[in-house]
């Protein structure tokens, strides 16, 4: 029998006891769980970054995996805890938009988690990662069915992070979804939406630069020049071979981009 | 049958081979062990920080968990390796005060680890995390009984990190136990020692600020104002909503605080 | 039956989805695998650092462990993926020198990985950690034999990172192999090559400092003075007690050193 997998994505960092505590809570309930960290270095309270990260990560895991996401600036307020089912995966976290990009990819059903019998007591006002989301994920992994946690809702918060807009006959705007560790800028232009870039003339306005070269590997890029590449996440990325595109262009997550195709 | 859990808390960081090596040693002896990182980012050689972290983390794990703590500026000197039993948990690390805050919470018995047959050979002078603490933890997890590692001692080092002192009829001093990733200041004032703060007038002197507002969630705090909250670790914390209290107040771990209650 | 162990060493950092994705791919193929992170904080594209790290880590794991190393500036070019067998361990990664220091320690056989049926499709040009190395490692861990992945090759890239050279009757040069988290400088002078340092007069020229004191533990070192110690990795290290030798001496990985012995 397979061990159930639980993934963790938070903005807790790794220097404190928070992540270890969540794992202790999960293993106390579901000792057979296989725990996998996606990342705990989401920038503090940056929901868009978490939304992108979990949307990139979940689909590489086996079906039935439980994905916990805790980036939760509204902890302790009336924001709801939710359980999302989609694509054969289960997601647990706050109703603050953090699963928006998963919902764009999959047809999802969403439940408000109201069954307090699965929460730790006393319930803190500041650490629902420990008191709500970890125990719910552990019980899910043990086989408690989603319907036991609460009723379906239709108004879960969905934020539009990718913001792809057509602004002219040949022009679209989007923004930088994420800057990765290498300084690559992951743009909101999905490869499947613009599959023709390799066969046409294009220009991407990114900060003060106009990029018109698409390469197939980092090594193809001329030294110190920003170019476009079809990234592994399915979006075009602005990269600088052996350098940081983010630094060279002075851009960050959220920065606007405009693509024109002839 | 449950897989035995071994947690790791060190100041080794994650960029070197040290942590991976410890895990290799453990899995070579106890391949069935479930390894959980609490943190490896304890500030180098900061015993107080490690003492706080393990004391917050251990109690969320199942009983019988083995907790390894290696923050060990005295490695290679005569400081003793110890095995602490308390609260149903087992702890392995240097006798330098690192388990002081566990000992405050639990009635503990302490053994000096002298059974060199459980150590790796040759024994290095600089990496007892690999040569002493990892193999001892692995053998413990496999079922070797504590008494086989050495005799009980009564003089294990206990440091007083919380330093709560009454300094007047209505005043107490303590210090900042830890600054977490969000810049929250975890104070030495335990909620259970001052349960009345929500029902009385109080003032916490913290750096140049006098704090007299207690909130129930981060969102309740007025923007950019330092307030007090009952933190998830059981201590009052000084927090700034969506900001860093440590930066705003210019305080760090160890900084003095004074609480007055009317 | 033992769970197969797969270790991961990359320069992907921990803030992105990359490492989580690799683990998802591995667990989808080999759900019984035990995953262990060596480090994901190799400096971006620093092959020498990765070569040192995996050479220090692998030998503490049980035989049959599969070690994945992805520090891969040439991803998407013609550089070959390879499978290295040596010392009872298996290694998977790019043919760019990353296993050079393992090959110095062990008699190794090397295969080019050509069996594309084990790769994910479509194969990206930028993330072979996901599409090539993770699935190959997972299939290896599941019992696919090395010969099924491709033919033996004799021309795998071996870089000479340690660079120990005799430059006089009593003098040798080497370089700094790595700076660890504590600022200790791990030198290319192996303890087994210079076992007599404790019994003779020596001088190590390191930056502007001449070091002539060898200590047995950090605590023996005079305050704020750079001294030599026989490090846990088997190399002499330049250390400063409770300080950073790298900062004090202004040296980094690759910096030249000269040792003279009388």
In chain A, which residue's Cα lies nearest the Cα of B183? Answer: A44
Residue B44: predicted pLDDT: 86
Note whether C27 contacts A: Cβ–Cβ < 8 A.
yes
Same domain flag for B181 and B51: no
Burial B144-166 (b: 16+ CB within 10 A, else e): eebeebbeeeeebbbbebbebee
Helix (H) / strand (E) element for B138: namely helix B134-142
Whether A130 and chain B come into contact, CB under 8 Å, resolves to yes
With contacts defined as CB-CB under 8 Å, which chain A residues touch C127? 232
Name the 3-class secondary structure at C117: helix
Nearest-Å Rg of the Cα atoms of chain C is 20
d(CA B57, CA A21): 5
Nearest Cα of chain A lies from the Cα of B214 at a distance, in angstroms, of 13
Question: Which of C5, C37, C217 shows the shortest C-beta gap to B76?
Answer: C217
Chain C residue with minimum CA distance to B21: C57
Find out whether C194 and B52 touch, Cβ atoms under 8 Å. Answer: no
Q: Which position has the token pair 């335990």?
A: B190
The label of the residue with tokens 């190393």 reads: C69
CATH number for C171: 2.40.30.90
Residue B158 lies in a domain: no
- Write the pLDDT tens digit of every residue in B177-217: 999 988 999 999 999 999 989 889 999 999 999 999 999 88
Which residues on C lie below 8 Å from A35 (Cβ)? none
Closest CA relative to residue A25, chosen from A124, A119, A130, A105: A130
Residues C138 and C16 in one domain: yes
Chain B residues near residue A127 by CB distance under 8 angstroms: 232
Cβ of B2 and A31 within 8 Å?
yes
Chain C residues touching A231 at Cβ < 8 A = 124, 126
Q: State whether C118 and C22 are in the same domain.
A: yes
The minimal CB distance from B74 to the residues C181, C182, C219 is found for: C219
Token readout for C217 is: 């533990």
Token readout for A236 is: 């075009």
Tell me how far apart the alpha carbons of residues C19 and C41 are, in angstroms, rounded to a whole number: 11
- Nearest residue in chain C measured CA to CA from A36: C20
Asked whether residue A160 is domain-assigned, the answer is no
Using the predicted structure, report yes or no on whether residue B71 has a pLDDT greater than 70.
yes
Would you say residue B143 has pLDDT above 70? yes
The token pair that represents A88 in the structure block: 């054969």
Counted domains in chain C: 2
Parallel, antiparallel or unpaired: strands C209-211 and C202-206: antiparallel
Specify the DSSP class assigned to residue A160: -
Q: Is B159 domain-assigned?
A: no
Q: Which of C23, C45, C126 sits opposite A36 (nearest CB)?
A: C23
Chain A residues with CB-CB distance to C76 below 8 A:
216-220
CB proximity A40 to C under 8 Å = yes
User: Could you tell me if C84 and C196 lie in one domain?
Assistant: no
Please tell me whether residues B126 and B87 are part of one structural domain: yes
Decide if A158 is inside a domain: no
Is B156 an 8 Å CB contact of chain C? no
B229 and A CB contact within 8 Å: yes
Are residues A62 and A21 both part of a single domain? yes
Chain B residues in contact with C41 (beta carbon < 8 A): 14-15
Q: B71, B98 in Cβ contact below 8 A?
A: yes
- The answer to whether A211 contacts chain B (CB < 8 Å) is no
C3 touches C32 (CB < 8 A): yes
Distance from CA of B43 to the nearest CA of A (A): 9
Query: Is residue C83 one of the residues assigned to a domain?
Result: yes
Calpha distance A56→A79 (Å, rounded): 25
* Cβ pair A27:B42 closer than 8 A: no
**Do A128 and A81 touch, CB atoms closer than 8 A?**
yes
- Examine the domain organization and report whether A43 and A130 are in the same domain: yes
In this structure, are residues C90 and C133 in contact, taking their beta carbons and an 8 Å threshold? no
Listed residues C133, C153, C173: the one ending a domain: C153
Upstream peptide bond of B122 is cis (omega within 30 degrees of 0):
yes
Please name the helix (run of DSSP H) or strand (run of DSSP E) that holds residue A142, with its range, or none: helix A134-142
**Domain C-terminal end among B118, B153, B188:** B153
Interchain proximity A24–B230, CB inside 8 Å: no
Map residue C190 onto helix, strand or coil: strand
Q: Do A217 and C14 touch (CB under 8 A)?
A: no
Residue A65 structural domain: 5-153
Spatial distance between the Cα atoms of B75 and B126, rounded to a whole number of angstroms? 6
Do both C134 and C78 map to the same domain? Answer: yes
CATH number at residue B17: 3.40.50.10790
In tens, the pLDDT along C161-173 reads 877 899 999 999 9
The structure's pTM equals 0.93
Q: A57 to chain C: which residues are within 8 Å by CB?
A: 17, 20-21, 24
Pick from B14, B74, B130: CB nearest C39: B14
Separation of alpha carbons B26 and B135, rounded Å: 6
Q: Indicate the residue among B94, B123, B153 that finishes a domain.
A: B153
Q: Rounded mean pLDDT of chain A?
A: 94
Judge whether B160 lies within some domain: no
Structure tokens at A53: 């990260």
Do A57 and C24 count as a contact with CB atoms less than 8 A apart? yes
Asked if the Cβ–Cβ distance from A130 to B60 is below 8 Å, we say yes
Assess whether C42 and C91 both reside in one domain: yes
**Mutate which of A15, A30, A44, A134 to disrupt the B interface (most B C-beta within 10 Å)?**
A15
Looking at the fold, whether B179 and B251 belong to one and the same domain comes out as yes
Q: Is B224 touching C (CB cutoff 8 A)? A: no
**Residue appearing with tokens 């904080």:** C41
Closest CA to C82 of C103, C110, C116: C110
Beta-carbon contacts of B9 under 8 Å, excluding residues fewer than 6 positions away, are A20, B38, B39, B40, B42, B50, B53, B54, B57, B67, B68, B69, B70, B71
Q: Indicate the helix (H) or strand (E) that contains A103.
A: helix A100-105
Name the residue in chain A with its Cα closest to that of C44: A182
Within a domain: residue B170? yes
Cβ contacts (< 8 Å) between C216 and chain B: which residues?
Answer: 76, 125
A23, A24, A76: residue with CB nearest B219:
A76
A12 touches chain B (CB under 8 A): yes
| Angle between helix A47-57 and C18-29 (nearest 10) | 30
Both B119 and B82 in a single domain?
yes
Beta carbons of B53 and A17 less than 8 Å apart: yes
Q: Hey, is the C-beta of A96 within 8 angstroms of any chain C C-beta? A: no
Same domain, A73 and A192: no
Q: Give the pLDDT score at C191.
A: 94
Reported confidence tier of residue B1, pLDDT bands at 50, 70, 90: low
Which chains have 3+ CB pairs within 8 A of A? Answer: B, C
- Chain B: closest CA distance from residue C40 (Å): 7
Give per-residue pLDDT as tens, A8-52: 999 999 999 999 999 999 999 999 999 999 999 998 888 999 999
Predicted confidence at residue B103, as pLDDT, reads 96
Positions of chain C with pLDDT under 50 = none
pLDDT on residue C1: 60
Contact B219/A at CB under 8 A: yes
Q: Per the domain annotation, does A136 fall within a domain?
A: yes
What integer pLDDT is reported at residue B77 of this predicted model?
86
Contact B216 A76 (CB under 8 A): yes
Query: In this complex, do B42 and A73 lie within 8 Å of one another by their Cβ atoms?
Result: no
User: Does the structure show a pLDDT above 90 at A2?
Assistant: no
Q: What span, in angstroms and rounded, lies between the C-alpha atoms of B97 and B205?
A: 28
Q: How far is B169 from chain A (nearest CA, A)?
A: 31
B7 in contact with chain A, both atoms CB, cutoff 8 A = yes
Q: Are B11 and B40 in contact (CB under 8 A)?
A: yes
Write out the two tokens for B206.
């913290």
CB–CB of A224/A236 below 8 Å? no
**Overall average pLDDT of the A226-248 stretch:** 93
- Residue A180: its chain C contacts at CB < 8 A? 15-16, 18
Contact of B36 with chain A, judged by CB distance below 8 Å, is answered with yes
Minimum distance, in Å, between the CA of residue B8 and any CA atom of chain C: 13
Above 70 in pLDDT, residue A1?
no
């Amino acid at each position: 029998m397979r061990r159930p997998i639980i993934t963790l994505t938070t903005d807790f960092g790794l220097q404190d006891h928070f992540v270890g505590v969540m794992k202790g809570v999960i293993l106390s309930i579901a000792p057979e769980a296989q725990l996998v960290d996606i990342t705990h270095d989401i920038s503090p309270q940056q929901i868009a970054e978490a939304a992108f990260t979990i949307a990139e990560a979940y689909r590489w895991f086996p079906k039935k995996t439980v994905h916990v996401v805790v980036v939760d600036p509204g902890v302790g307020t009336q924001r709801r805890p939710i359980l999302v089912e989609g694509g054969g995966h289960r997601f647990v976290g706050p109703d603050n938009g953090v699963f928006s990009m998963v919902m764009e990819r999959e047809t999802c059903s969403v439940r408000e988690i109201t069954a307090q019998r699965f929460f730790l007591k006393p319930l803190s006002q500041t650490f629902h990662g420990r008191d709500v989301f970890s125990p719910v994920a552990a019980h899910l992994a043990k086989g408690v069915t989603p319907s036991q946690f609460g009723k379906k809702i239709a108004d879960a918060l969905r934020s539009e992070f990718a913001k792809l807009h057509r602004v002219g006959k040949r022009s679209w705007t989007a923004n930088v979804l994420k800057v990765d560790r290498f300084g690559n800028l992951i743009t909101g232009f999905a490869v499947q939406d613009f599959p023709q870039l390799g066969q046409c003339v294009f220009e991407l306005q990114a900060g003060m630069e106009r990029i018109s070269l698409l390469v197939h590997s980092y090594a193809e890029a001329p030294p110190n020049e920003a170019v476009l590449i079809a990234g592994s996440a399915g979006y075009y990325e602005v990269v600088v071979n052996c350098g940081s595109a983010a630094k060279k262009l002075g851009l960050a997550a959220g920065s606007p981009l405009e693509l024109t195709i002839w």
